[in-house]
Amino acid sequence: MTTVVEVHTSLGPIRIALDEAKAPTSVANFLAYVDAGHYSGTIFHRVIPGFMAQGGGYTSDMSKKPVRAGIQNEADN
């Protein structure tokens, strides 16, 4: 099953497809952060064009957001 999450940014929306069949723990973890409002007011703090954008860990004044315990890496699924 694929879940699509829409992230609202100052430059417009970004749609993220989450593959629950391949990464169930990662998807559940991400959605728990979404449901808790964790990403509200955060920034993209690292962007490598054509490769990736990383965000959600810091606010606009670079204050680090608190996080829960890490999860198992599902990159090889």
pLDDT in tens, 16-61: 999 999 999 999 999 999 999 999 999 999 999 999 999 999 999 9
Band (pLDDT 50/70/90 cuts) for residue 68 is: very high
Rg (the chain; Cα; Å)? 13
| CB-based contact 65:56 (threshold 8 Å) | yes
Q: In 3D, which of 1, 73, 3 has the Cα closest to residue 35?
A: 3
pLDDT band at 77 (very low <50, low <70, confident <90, very high): confident
